[in-house]
Amino acid sequence: MHDINTFEAHFTLMNPSVKIFAGNGSQALAEKIAQRFGAPIGKINIQKFSDGEFQPIFLESIRGDYVFLVQSTYAPSDNLMELLMMIDAAKRASAYKIIAVVPYYGFARQDRKDKPRVAIGAKLIATLLEAAGANRVITMDLHAAQIQGFFDIPVDNVYGTKVMRDDIQKLNSDKHLVVSPDVGGVVRSRALAKVLGLSDLAIIDKRRDEANKSEVMNVIGEVKGKECIIVDDIADTAGTLCNAAEALKEQGALKVYAYIVHPV
């Protein structure tokens, strides 16, 4: 005769509780989130082998729990693979819901086929996260908002606009002008200008012939006598920022500030 207690333990769903775990790429942030939430960060061990292989192991029960996995997917690609394996491990450990918290969504600049024979990396990452078993994704300032449409699960794209606004207001100036570093960043820049109560906006018209190299072509808008605030989502070489700052100063800008969400 089968032991009914054994089956009851497997099929009875406990009241879901929230548990927060960190990957190696976002340990400090996850600890701050857990502290603000008021719960200890979950215990997980990412075991590494000599050939570079690794295996995440949850060191506590997560059966029937809401499991938040905090991990950005910036380089190296181990961070992405680590997140995918954490999701898979949580799914196999019978987590109730698995929420991937991806502050920096890597490969987001590959959001369309802009030249022949290229991958659409942002779509591939979305497919991988879903296939691994994520029930929801929380990310921040996606490079392109349409990436949310690559998913068939809920995606929360949160913004750093309020943090920027609070810091800019401390500068206490009436000469501020928000500047978009390119045409693609106009929506983001306009949102910041709106919360700052600014009606005008300037745009840098640039051309990029190859990755990590940009050339400023023109400044659209009146920047003379203004304290310009460039807002961008990603900076890696900062070449665009430097070129934009030089162009703005040449056009008579008094000062140039830069606010970057993901300084990768």
Phi/psi at 202 (5° precision): -115, 155
Q: Sign of the CA dihedral 250, 253, 255, 257?
A: negative
Instruction: Please identify which residue in the block is written with the tokens 């701050």.
Output: 32
206 is catalytic: yes
The helix (H) or strand (E) run that includes residue 231 is strand 227-234
Nearest-angstrom CA–CA distance, 242 and 231: 13
Nearest-angstrom CA–CA distance, 31 and 35: 6
Instruction: Please identify which residue in the block is written with the tokens 């490969």.
Output: 107
Count of beta carbons in the 10 Å neighbourhood of residue 58: 19
Please give the order of strands across the beta sheet that includes 227-234: 213-220, 201-210, 176-180, 227-234, 255-262
Write down the catalytic residue from 19, 97, 123, 206: 206
Q: Which residues are identified as catalytic?
A: 206
